[in-house]
Amino acid sequence: MTRLLPWIALVAFASVPLWLKDPYLLNAFVTTGIFIIAAMSLNLLLGYTGQLSLGHVAFFGIGAYTSALTALGFDIELIGGIRIVHEPWPVWLGFIIAILFTGLCGYVVGKLSFRVRGAYFVIVTISFAEVVRLVALNWVELTQGPLALTSIPPLTLGLPGIGYFDFFSKQSNYYLVLGVVVISYIIISRLVNSRIGRAMVALKENESLAVSVGIDVTRYLVLAAVVSAGIAGAAGSLYAHYLKIIDPDVFLFLYTVTMVIMVITGGKGTLAGPLVGGLIFGFIPVVARSFAAPEIQWILYGLFMILIVFVLPQGIVPAIEKWFGVDETKDSVGAPKAKTQDVP
């Protein structure tokens, strides 16, 4: 039965646009899905390697700006009078470039930041996010600064001679986001249930023991950072092309906090945790808006989060697995969970 749950959930969510006609709620599903993708990417670092990145929103924002600028084009002058003129490229190409570029940024940041641990690592990631935000705010010639990048085209797929399809409507964007959620889920699932994933879990559980059996700490942590950053960049790209406008507020610390809340309350280190936590905390403001004033909404949001943390300290998904007697040696897709002693 456990193996069927992902398929049942997929069919259920695929049917949503068929019966949900309220554009406001459909928009909530789309934006929540985008942040679920970002939360899944953060869970790879926080849940499977034990590294808390409070600057993860930087990759989200870099992906958004990279994809938007690739599709819009730009004309900038660098130091020494060198001028770079970029003509607009196809939107789907911008999406791919955003993933690759954010993955590269993840590699660079991982190489530098994983030399430290604990609070120092957190400070490095926060500082990186703030630097990127200031660049987006002040490099007006490239990013338009606080004036924002506008008229960002929607994502387009197609082949010459066959036709093109624009993801312009909320329904089409819903299926696009759902597709990226599924692909991200599969990628992370394959990774964490592989030999690489066992090494990552070993580093989280006991880094000294993992090193003693020959696991290269930096190698596996940097790999996790690259994959995590690439997926976060994909989420940022979807965000930019869905809203069709972005500004430096895309780097707000609040977005990182939202991702962390989704991961921890859902159950860090579980594949389904960010999905469950994302749906709950993505829709609490939507539900509360119908009966509470804005200031009360955030109070309810905070109280509900505190309640979950106190009542279900391991998260919602682990608690449900325990209640229903799911084998704790299996993960959410039925594969054996990694253990430190399993790592070669």
- pLDDT tens per residue, range 239-257: 999 999 999 999 998 899 9
Q: Residue 287 falls within a domain, yes or no? A: no
Task: Sort strands 156-159 and 163-166 into parallel, antiparallel or unpaired.
Answer: antiparallel
Model confidence over 258-270: pLDDT tens digits? Answer: 999 999 999 998 9
Domain count, the chain: 1
- Residues 91-113 as b/e (b if ≥16 CB within 10 A, e otherwise) read bbebbebbbebbbebbbebbeeb
Dump pLDDT digits (tens) for 12-62: 999 999 999 899 999 999 999 999 999 999 999 999 988 888 889 999 999
Cβ pair 41, 292 in contact under 8 A:
no
pLDDT at position 1: 56
Residue 96 CB partners (closer than 8 Å, separation 6+): none
Angle at 241 between CA 47 and CA 146, to 5 degrees: 90
Domain span including residue 40? 23-253
Q: What is the mean pLDDT of residues 107-134?
A: 86
Which residue would you say has higher pLDDT here, 205 or 79?
Answer: 205
User: Is residue 118 left, alpha or beta, with left meaning phi > 0 and alpha meaning psi from -120 to 50?
Assistant: left
Are 232 and 56 in contact, with CB atoms under 8 Å apart? yes
Residue 220, CA distances (Å) to 31, 123, 226, 246 in order? 31, 21, 10, 33
Q: Answer whether residue 343 is part of any domain.
A: no
For residue 329, pLDDT beyond 50: no
> What length is written for the chain?
344
Categorize the per-residue pLDDT at 93 as very low, low, confident or very high, splitting at 50, 70 and 90: very high
Residue 153 dihedral angles phi and psi, to the nearest 5°: -70, 155
pLDDT at 194 over 80: yes
Report if residue 337 sits inside a domain: no
Beta strand pairing call for 83-86 and 74-77: antiparallel
Neighbour-count burial of 229, counting CB atoms closer than 10 A to its CB (0-12 exposed, 13-18 middle, 19+ buried): buried
Domain membership flag for residue 143: yes
Q: Which helix (H) or strand (E) holds 1?
A: none
What is the pLDDT at residue 326? 61
| CB atoms inside a 10 Å sphere around CB 79 | 5
Q: Name which of 6-20, 44-58, 201-215, 324-338 the model is least confident about.
A: 324-338
Only one residue has tokens 């809203």, namely 243
Of the two residues 331 and 101, the one the predictor is more confident about is 101
The answer as to whether 208 is a domain residue is yes
Does residue 277 fall inside a structural domain? no
Q: pTM, whole model, 2 decimals?
A: 0.90
Convert the pLDDT of each residue in 279-325 to its tens digit. 999 898 888 887 878 778 888 888 888 898 888 888 899 988 888 76
Q: Report the SS3 class of residue 33.
A: helix
Residue 115 exposed, middle or buried by CB count within 10 Å (0-12, 13-18, 19+):
exposed
Residue 273 falls inside a structural domain? no
Q: How far apart are CA 128 and CA 253, in angstroms?
A: 12
Please report whether residue 281 resides in a domain. no
SS3 content of the chain, % helix, strand, coil (to 5): 70, 5, 25
